[in-house]
Structure 1
Protein backbone atom coordinates (compact mmCIF):
# COMPACT_ATOMS: atom_id res chain seq x y z
CA UNK A 1 0.00 0.00 0.00
CA UNK A 2 1.38 3.41 -0.93
CA UNK A 3 1.72 6.11 1.70
CA UNK A 4 -0.89 8.26 -0.05
CA UNK A 5 -3.42 5.42 -0.04
CA UNK A 6 -2.81 4.76 3.65
CA UNK A 7 -3.29 8.44 4.49
CA UNK A 8 -6.50 8.46 2.44
CA UNK A 9 -7.72 5.40 4.36
CA UNK A 10 -6.99 7.12 7.67
CA UNK A 11 -8.70 10.34 6.62
CA UNK A 12 -11.84 8.41 5.67
CA UNK A 13 -12.10 6.74 9.08
CA UNK A 14 -12.07 9.67 11.48
CA UNK A 15 -15.63 9.40 12.81
CA UNK A 16 -16.04 10.41 16.42
CA UNK A 17 -17.02 7.61 18.84
CA UNK A 18 -20.49 7.57 20.36
CA UNK A 19 -19.72 5.23 23.27
CA UNK A 20 -17.18 5.33 26.08
CA UNK A 21 -13.78 3.67 25.74
CA UNK A 22 -13.58 0.17 27.21
CA UNK A 23 -10.06 -0.67 26.02
CA UNK A 24 -6.95 1.34 25.28
CA UNK A 25 -5.94 0.62 21.66
CA UNK A 26 -2.32 -0.49 21.26
CA UNK A 27 -0.53 -0.69 17.91
CA UNK A 28 2.12 -3.42 18.17
CA UNK A 29 4.30 -3.06 15.09
CA UNK A 30 7.61 -2.35 13.38
CA UNK A 31 8.52 0.73 11.29
CA UNK A 32 5.01 0.76 9.77
CA UNK A 33 3.67 1.67 13.17
CA UNK A 34 6.24 4.44 13.61
CA UNK A 35 5.26 5.89 10.24
CA UNK A 36 1.56 5.67 11.08
CA UNK A 37 2.09 7.34 14.45
CA UNK A 38 3.62 10.38 12.71
CA UNK A 39 0.36 10.81 10.77
CA UNK A 40 -2.00 10.71 13.74
CA UNK A 41 -3.45 13.81 15.33
CA UNK A 42 -3.04 14.24 19.07
CA UNK A 43 -6.08 16.51 19.01
CA UNK A 44 -8.34 13.77 17.62
CA UNK A 45 -10.62 12.13 20.18
CA UNK A 46 -9.69 8.56 19.20
CA UNK A 47 -6.14 8.95 17.90
CA UNK A 48 -4.86 10.60 21.08
CA UNK A 49 -5.84 7.44 22.99
CA UNK A 50 -3.64 5.10 20.92
CA UNK A 51 -0.58 3.61 22.58
CA UNK A 52 2.32 2.67 20.29
CA UNK A 53 4.62 -0.31 20.88
CA UNK A 54 6.71 -0.11 17.72
CA UNK A 55 10.32 -0.86 16.89
CA UNK A 56 11.81 -0.41 13.43
CA UNK A 57 13.34 -3.48 11.82
CA UNK A 58 11.80 -5.88 14.33
CA UNK A 59 10.93 -9.43 13.38
CA UNK A 60 7.96 -11.14 14.94
CA UNK A 61 10.04 -13.45 17.17
CA UNK A 62 11.76 -10.48 18.84
CA UNK A 63 8.49 -8.67 19.37
CA UNK A 64 6.83 -11.79 20.81
CA UNK A 65 9.50 -12.17 23.47
CA UNK A 66 9.31 -8.45 24.26
CA UNK A 67 5.55 -8.78 24.72
CA UNK A 68 5.96 -11.89 26.86
CA UNK A 69 8.31 -9.98 29.18
CA UNK A 70 6.29 -6.76 29.35
CA UNK A 71 2.59 -7.50 28.85
CA UNK A 72 1.64 -7.97 32.50
CA UNK A 73 3.24 -4.69 33.56
CA UNK A 74 1.77 -2.81 30.59
CA UNK A 75 -1.75 -3.97 31.51
CA UNK A 76 -1.19 -2.78 35.08
CA UNK A 77 -0.18 0.62 33.72
CA UNK A 78 -2.84 1.00 31.02
CA UNK A 79 -5.76 -1.07 32.25
CA UNK A 80 -7.79 -3.08 29.69
CA UNK A 81 -6.06 -3.03 26.29
CA UNK A 82 -6.82 -4.11 22.73
CA UNK A 83 -3.63 -4.99 20.86
CA UNK A 84 -3.48 -4.55 17.08
CA UNK A 85 -0.62 -6.75 15.88
CA UNK A 86 0.88 -5.30 12.69
CA UNK A 87 4.01 -7.36 12.13
CA UNK A 88 5.26 -9.27 9.12
CA UNK A 89 7.11 -7.11 6.62
CA UNK A 90 10.48 -7.62 8.32
CA UNK A 91 9.97 -11.38 8.07
CA UNK A 92 8.94 -11.31 4.42
CA UNK A 93 11.76 -9.03 3.26
CA UNK A 94 15.22 -8.04 4.49
CA UNK A 95 16.77 -4.58 4.58
CA UNK A 96 20.41 -4.44 3.53
CA UNK A 97 21.92 -0.97 3.70
CA UNK A 98 19.64 0.95 1.31
CA UNK A 99 17.78 -1.87 -0.44
CA UNK A 100 15.30 -4.62 0.36
CA UNK A 101 14.95 -8.15 -1.01
CA UNK A 102 12.71 -11.14 -0.42
CA UNK A 103 13.64 -13.56 2.36
CA UNK A 104 12.23 -16.80 0.94
CA UNK A 105 10.57 -17.98 -2.25
CA UNK A 106 8.50 -20.65 -0.51
CA UNK A 107 6.00 -20.48 2.39
CA UNK A 108 8.61 -20.61 5.15
CA UNK A 109 8.13 -16.96 6.18
CA UNK A 110 4.34 -17.27 6.09
CA UNK A 111 4.35 -20.37 8.28
CA UNK A 112 6.69 -18.70 10.76
CA UNK A 113 4.48 -15.63 11.00
CA UNK A 114 1.32 -17.68 11.49
CA UNK A 115 3.04 -19.69 14.23
CA UNK A 116 3.94 -16.52 16.13
CA UNK A 117 0.59 -14.82 15.55
CA UNK A 118 -0.91 -17.81 17.35
CA UNK A 119 1.73 -17.64 20.10
CA UNK A 120 0.85 -13.99 20.68
CA UNK A 121 -2.85 -14.85 20.84
CA UNK A 122 -2.21 -17.63 23.37
CA UNK A 123 -0.15 -15.21 25.44
CA UNK A 124 -2.93 -12.61 25.55
CA UNK A 125 -5.48 -15.26 26.57
CA UNK A 126 -3.78 -15.36 29.97
CA UNK A 127 -5.28 -11.93 30.70
CA UNK A 128 -9.03 -11.31 30.88
CA UNK A 129 -8.60 -7.59 30.19
CA UNK A 130 -6.62 -8.03 26.96
CA UNK A 131 -8.06 -8.48 23.47
CA UNK A 132 -6.25 -8.80 20.17
CA UNK A 133 -6.62 -8.30 16.42
CA UNK A 134 -4.05 -9.38 13.83
CA UNK A 135 -3.83 -6.71 11.12
CA UNK A 136 -3.31 -7.65 7.49
CA UNK A 137 -0.01 -6.85 5.80
CA UNK A 138 -0.43 -4.23 3.07
CA UNK A 139 1.01 -5.07 -0.35
CA UNK A 140 4.28 -3.27 -1.00
CA UNK A 141 6.85 -3.28 -3.78
CA UNK A 142 10.49 -4.29 -3.55
CA UNK A 143 11.04 -2.89 -7.04
CA UNK A 144 9.63 0.58 -6.29
CA UNK A 145 11.44 0.80 -2.96
CA UNK A 146 14.77 0.01 -4.61
CA UNK A 147 14.03 2.41 -7.48
CA UNK A 148 13.43 5.14 -4.91
CA UNK A 149 16.77 4.24 -3.32
CA UNK A 150 18.53 4.60 -6.70
CA UNK A 151 19.43 0.92 -7.23
CA UNK A 152 21.40 0.57 -10.47
CA UNK A 153 19.36 -2.41 -11.77
CA UNK A 154 15.99 -2.36 -9.97
CA UNK A 155 14.35 -4.46 -12.69
CA UNK A 156 16.04 -7.53 -11.22
CA UNK A 157 13.53 -7.29 -8.36
CA UNK A 158 10.40 -7.49 -10.53
CA UNK A 159 10.15 -11.26 -10.15
CA UNK A 160 10.58 -10.89 -6.39
CA UNK A 161 7.63 -8.47 -6.40
CA UNK A 162 5.39 -11.15 -7.90
CA UNK A 163 6.51 -13.72 -5.33
CA UNK A 164 6.04 -11.19 -2.52
CA UNK A 165 2.51 -10.35 -3.67
CA UNK A 166 1.65 -14.07 -3.61
CA UNK A 167 3.04 -14.39 -0.11
CA UNK A 168 1.14 -11.37 1.20
CA UNK A 169 -2.14 -12.63 -0.25
CA UNK A 170 -1.57 -16.05 1.31
CA UNK A 171 -0.59 -14.48 4.62
CA UNK A 172 -3.63 -12.21 4.71
CA UNK A 173 -5.90 -15.18 4.00
CA UNK A 174 -4.36 -16.90 7.03
CA UNK A 175 -4.81 -13.71 9.06
CA UNK A 176 -8.51 -13.68 8.21
CA UNK A 177 -8.82 -17.30 9.36
CA UNK A 178 -7.04 -16.48 12.63
CA UNK A 179 -9.19 -13.40 13.27
CA UNK A 180 -12.36 -15.35 12.50
CA UNK A 181 -11.34 -17.89 15.15
CA UNK A 182 -11.09 -15.15 17.81
CA UNK A 183 -14.15 -13.23 16.55
CA UNK A 184 -12.20 -10.27 15.25
CA UNK A 185 -11.35 -8.75 11.87
CA UNK A 186 -8.79 -6.55 10.15
CA UNK A 187 -9.29 -3.70 7.68
CA UNK A 188 -8.28 -4.70 4.16
CA UNK A 189 -5.46 -2.25 3.57
CA UNK A 190 -4.77 -3.50 0.03
CA UNK A 191 -8.31 -3.01 -1.30
CA UNK A 192 -8.33 -1.08 -4.54
CA UNK A 193 -4.78 -1.99 -5.49
CA UNK A 194 -3.97 -3.89 -8.65
CA UNK A 195 -1.92 -6.86 -7.50
CA UNK A 196 -0.07 -9.24 -9.78
CA UNK A 197 -0.45 -12.66 -8.20
CA UNK A 198 -0.68 -16.29 -9.22
CA UNK A 199 -2.17 -17.30 -5.88
CA UNK A 200 -5.72 -18.62 -5.93
CA UNK A 201 -7.60 -19.06 -2.68
CA UNK A 202 -8.75 -22.60 -2.01
CA UNK A 203 -12.51 -23.02 -2.12
Structure 2
Protein backbone atom coordinates (compact mmCIF):
# COMPACT_ATOMS: atom_id res chain seq x y z
CA UNK A 1 0.00 0.00 0.00
CA UNK A 2 2.82 2.37 0.90
CA UNK A 3 4.44 1.72 -2.48
CA UNK A 4 1.18 2.54 -4.30
CA UNK A 5 0.85 5.82 -2.42
CA UNK A 6 4.45 6.73 -3.32
CA UNK A 7 3.82 6.05 -7.02
CA UNK A 8 0.60 8.08 -6.92
CA UNK A 9 2.40 11.03 -5.33
CA UNK A 10 5.15 10.77 -7.94
CA UNK A 11 2.74 11.00 -10.86
CA UNK A 12 0.80 13.76 -9.14
CA UNK A 13 4.01 15.79 -8.85
CA UNK A 14 4.67 15.26 -12.56
CA UNK A 15 1.23 16.60 -13.40
CA UNK A 16 1.74 19.66 -11.24
CA UNK A 17 5.10 20.25 -12.88
CA UNK A 18 3.57 20.06 -16.35
CA UNK A 19 1.10 22.79 -15.41
CA UNK A 20 3.70 25.18 -14.00
CA UNK A 21 3.64 28.71 -15.39
CA UNK A 22 6.43 31.27 -15.33
CA UNK A 23 6.87 34.87 -16.40
CA UNK A 24 9.48 34.99 -19.14
CA UNK A 25 10.54 38.30 -20.67
CA UNK A 26 10.34 37.88 -24.45
CA UNK A 27 12.29 39.69 -27.16
CA UNK A 28 10.26 39.87 -30.38
CA UNK A 29 13.25 40.14 -32.72
CA UNK A 30 17.02 40.08 -32.37
CA UNK A 31 17.21 43.87 -32.52
CA UNK A 32 14.85 44.05 -29.52
CA UNK A 33 17.34 41.95 -27.57
CA UNK A 34 20.15 44.35 -28.52
CA UNK A 35 18.00 47.30 -27.41
CA UNK A 36 16.82 45.44 -24.28
CA UNK A 37 13.21 45.95 -25.39
CA UNK A 38 10.73 43.33 -24.13
CA UNK A 39 7.36 42.38 -25.57
CA UNK A 40 4.69 43.99 -23.41
CA UNK A 41 2.45 43.33 -21.61
CA UNK A 42 4.22 40.40 -20.00
CA UNK A 43 2.61 36.97 -20.20
CA UNK A 44 2.45 33.86 -18.06
CA UNK A 45 3.95 30.95 -20.00
CA UNK A 46 3.01 27.33 -19.43
CA UNK A 47 6.16 25.28 -18.89
CA UNK A 48 5.84 21.74 -20.23
CA UNK A 49 9.44 20.78 -19.59
CA UNK A 50 12.35 22.56 -17.94
CA UNK A 51 15.94 21.33 -18.04
CA UNK A 52 19.39 22.86 -17.71
CA UNK A 53 19.75 23.24 -21.47
CA UNK A 54 16.26 24.03 -22.76
CA UNK A 55 12.65 24.83 -21.90
CA UNK A 56 9.57 23.49 -23.71
CA UNK A 57 6.71 25.97 -23.57
CA UNK A 58 2.94 25.76 -23.93
CA UNK A 59 0.25 28.41 -24.06
CA UNK A 60 1.00 32.02 -23.18
CA UNK A 61 -1.59 34.02 -21.23
CA UNK A 62 -1.77 37.82 -21.33
CA UNK A 63 -1.86 38.90 -17.69
CA UNK A 64 -3.96 41.98 -18.44
CA UNK A 65 -6.73 40.22 -20.38
CA UNK A 66 -6.36 36.62 -19.18
CA UNK A 67 -6.50 35.55 -22.84
CA UNK A 68 -4.05 33.58 -24.97
CA UNK A 69 -1.25 35.58 -26.57
CA UNK A 70 0.28 34.45 -29.87
CA UNK A 71 3.13 36.85 -30.59
CA UNK A 72 5.49 35.21 -28.09
CA UNK A 73 5.41 31.96 -30.07
CA UNK A 74 7.58 33.57 -32.76
CA UNK A 75 9.72 35.65 -30.38
CA UNK A 76 13.46 35.49 -31.01
CA UNK A 77 14.35 34.69 -27.40
CA UNK A 78 13.35 35.17 -23.80
CA UNK A 79 15.13 36.03 -20.59
CA UNK A 80 14.82 33.84 -17.51
CA UNK A 81 16.90 33.88 -14.32
CA UNK A 82 19.43 36.19 -16.03
CA UNK A 83 19.96 33.63 -18.82
CA UNK A 84 18.95 34.04 -22.46
CA UNK A 85 16.97 31.30 -24.23
CA UNK A 86 16.91 31.11 -28.03
CA UNK A 87 13.77 30.12 -29.93
CA UNK A 88 14.62 26.90 -31.77
CA UNK A 89 12.30 27.72 -34.68
CA UNK A 90 15.18 29.96 -35.81
CA UNK A 91 17.78 27.16 -35.68
CA UNK A 92 19.21 26.19 -39.07
CA UNK A 93 18.36 22.59 -40.04
CA UNK A 94 17.47 21.38 -36.50
CA UNK A 95 14.54 23.70 -35.76
CA UNK A 96 12.02 22.65 -33.11
CA UNK A 97 8.66 24.19 -32.19
CA UNK A 98 7.80 25.66 -28.77
CA UNK A 99 11.34 25.01 -27.53
CA UNK A 100 13.83 27.57 -26.27
CA UNK A 101 17.49 26.58 -25.79
CA UNK A 102 19.87 28.29 -23.40
CA UNK A 103 22.50 30.48 -25.07
CA UNK A 104 25.76 29.33 -23.49
CA UNK A 105 28.19 31.88 -24.93
CA UNK A 106 27.35 35.55 -25.47
CA UNK A 107 30.19 37.56 -27.01
CA UNK A 108 30.48 40.79 -28.93
CA UNK A 109 30.83 38.96 -32.26
CA UNK A 110 29.33 35.51 -31.77
CA UNK A 111 26.82 33.68 -29.59
CA UNK A 112 26.67 29.90 -29.11
CA UNK A 113 23.98 27.41 -28.19
CA UNK A 114 25.56 24.10 -27.18
CA UNK A 115 23.19 21.11 -27.08
CA UNK A 116 24.12 17.71 -25.69
CA UNK A 117 22.73 15.21 -28.21
CA UNK A 118 21.69 12.88 -25.39
CA UNK A 119 20.55 15.16 -22.55
CA UNK A 120 19.05 17.81 -24.83
CA UNK A 121 17.77 15.52 -27.58
CA UNK A 122 14.16 16.77 -27.22
CA UNK A 123 15.33 20.26 -28.19
CA UNK A 124 17.01 19.09 -31.40
CA UNK A 125 14.96 18.72 -34.58
CA UNK A 126 15.58 15.73 -36.85
CA UNK A 127 15.96 17.40 -40.26
CA UNK A 128 19.02 16.15 -42.18
CA UNK A 129 20.51 18.95 -44.31
CA UNK A 130 22.97 16.89 -46.29
CA UNK A 131 20.99 14.02 -47.74
CA UNK A 132 24.03 12.24 -49.14
CA UNK A 133 25.54 15.14 -51.08
CA UNK A 134 29.31 15.45 -50.92
CA UNK A 135 30.68 18.87 -49.94
CA UNK A 136 33.83 20.16 -48.32
CA UNK A 137 36.55 20.14 -50.95
CA UNK A 138 39.39 20.57 -48.50
CA UNK A 139 38.40 17.46 -46.57
CA UNK A 140 36.99 15.44 -49.45
CA UNK A 141 34.11 14.35 -47.20
CA UNK A 142 30.63 15.28 -46.05
CA UNK A 143 30.55 18.06 -43.46
CA UNK A 144 30.07 16.98 -39.88
CA UNK A 145 27.59 18.71 -37.60
CA UNK A 146 28.11 16.64 -34.44
CA UNK A 147 31.08 17.44 -32.21
CA UNK A 148 32.54 15.41 -29.38
CA UNK A 149 34.03 16.91 -26.26
CA UNK A 150 37.07 15.46 -24.51
CA UNK A 151 34.82 13.25 -22.39
CA UNK A 152 33.31 11.64 -25.49
CA UNK A 153 29.87 13.28 -25.37
CA UNK A 154 28.33 14.43 -28.65
CA UNK A 155 26.93 17.93 -29.22
CA UNK A 156 25.13 20.07 -31.77
CA UNK A 157 26.28 23.70 -31.80
CA UNK A 158 24.36 26.72 -33.06
CA UNK A 159 26.17 29.95 -33.89
CA UNK A 160 24.67 33.44 -34.10
CA UNK A 161 26.83 35.84 -36.09
CA UNK A 162 26.25 39.29 -34.60
CA UNK A 163 28.14 41.19 -37.31
CA UNK A 164 26.65 39.41 -40.32
CA UNK A 165 23.33 38.05 -39.06
CA UNK A 166 21.86 35.14 -41.01
CA UNK A 167 18.48 36.02 -42.49
CA UNK A 168 16.42 34.25 -45.13
CA UNK A 169 14.98 37.19 -47.04
CA UNK A 170 12.78 35.14 -49.36
CA UNK A 171 10.92 33.68 -46.37
CA UNK A 172 9.68 37.05 -45.18
CA UNK A 173 11.16 36.41 -41.75
CA UNK A 174 12.70 39.46 -40.14
CA UNK A 175 14.42 37.51 -37.38
CA UNK A 176 18.03 36.42 -37.15
CA UNK A 177 18.71 32.70 -37.55
CA UNK A 178 21.42 30.56 -35.97
CA UNK A 179 23.85 28.56 -38.10
CA UNK A 180 24.22 24.87 -37.38
CA UNK A 181 27.98 24.60 -36.94
CA UNK A 182 29.41 22.10 -39.39
CA UNK A 183 32.82 21.42 -40.91
CA UNK A 184 32.43 24.17 -43.50
CA UNK A 185 31.54 26.78 -40.90
CA UNK A 186 34.62 25.87 -38.84
CA UNK A 187 36.85 26.14 -41.91
CA UNK A 188 35.34 29.54 -42.69
CA UNK A 189 35.80 30.88 -39.15
CA UNK A 190 39.34 29.52 -38.85
CA UNK A 191 40.21 30.87 -42.31
CA UNK A 192 41.29 27.39 -43.40
CA UNK A 193 43.92 27.15 -40.71
CA UNK A 194 46.13 24.14 -41.63
CA UNK A 195 46.19 22.87 -38.04
CA UNK A 196 42.38 22.95 -37.92
CA UNK A 197 42.15 21.15 -41.27
CA UNK A 198 44.49 18.44 -39.99
CA UNK A 199 42.41 17.89 -36.85
CA UNK A 200 39.20 17.76 -38.87
CA UNK A 201 40.74 15.19 -41.23
CA UNK A 202 41.83 13.05 -38.28
CA UNK A 203 38.49 13.45 -36.46
CA UNK A 204 40.38 14.92 -33.52
CA UNK A 205 38.74 18.36 -33.60
CA UNK A 206 36.84 18.69 -30.31
CA UNK A 207 34.07 20.90 -29.00
CA UNK A 208 36.63 22.57 -26.75
CA UNK A 209 38.68 23.53 -29.83
CA UNK A 210 35.69 25.33 -31.32
CA UNK A 211 34.82 27.11 -28.07
CA UNK A 212 38.43 28.29 -27.86
CA UNK A 213 38.24 29.56 -31.46
CA UNK A 214 35.06 31.52 -30.73
CA UNK A 215 36.57 32.91 -27.54
CA UNK A 216 39.46 34.34 -29.58
CA UNK A 217 37.10 35.74 -32.22
CA UNK A 218 35.04 37.43 -29.50
CA UNK A 219 38.03 39.38 -28.17
TM above 0.5, yes or no, is no
What TM-score do the two structures reach when normalised by structure 1? 0.25
Taking CA–CA contacts closer than 8 Å with sequence separation of 6 or more, which of the two structures ends up with the larger relative contact order? Answer: 1
Structure with greater strand percent: 2
What TM-score do the two structures reach when normalised by structure 2? 0.23
Query: Which of structures 1 and 2 has the bigger CA Rg?
Result: 2
Structure with greater helix percent: 1
